[in-house]
Amino acid sequence: MAVESQDMQQGVQAGGFEDRRVNTGDIELQVRVRGTGDTTVFLFHGVTANLDVWRPIAEDLAAQFTVVAVDQRGHGRSDKPASGYTHTDYSNDVIALVEQLGGNGGKDVVVGHSLGSRNATVATARRPDLIDGFVGIDFTPFIETEVFDSLEARVNGGDQHFADRDAVIEYLQNRYQKIPREAIVRRADYGYVRDGDGLRPLASPEAMAQTVTGLRADLAPFTEDVARPALYIRGAESTLVTQAAFEATRRLRPDLGYQLVDDADHYVPEEQPRAIADSIRSFIAGL
User: How crowded is residue 112: how many other Cβ atoms within 10 Å of its Cβ?
Assistant: 30
Q: Are 46 and 61 in contact (CB under 8 A)?
A: no
Q: Which amino acid is at 254?
A: P
Catalytic residue among 45, 75, 87, 266: 266
> Is 138 marked active-site?
yes
Which residues, other chains included, contact 73 with Cβ-Cβ below 8 Å and sequence gap of 6+? 27, 29, 79, 80, 81, 84, 85, 89, 90, 93, 207
How far apart CA 67 and CA 44 sit, in angstroms, is 11
Which pairing describes strands 66-70 and 108-113: parallel, antiparallel, or unpaired?
unpaired
- Supply φ then ψ for residue 207, to 5 degrees: -65, -40
Helix axes 115-126, 87-101, angle to 10 degrees: 70
> Which among 87, 43, 46 is positioned nearest to 68, based on CA atoms?
43
Distance between CA 246 and CA 195 in Å, rounded? 41
2 beta partners: none
Residue 161 falls in the annotated catalytic set: no
Query: Annotated catalytic residue: which of 19, 71, 132, 138?
Result: 138
Q: Tell me if residue 37 falls in helix, strand or coil.
A: coil
Clarify whether 7 is annotated catalytic. Answer: no
Catalytic residue among 78, 114, 204, 279: 114
Point out the residues that are catalytic: 114, 138, 266
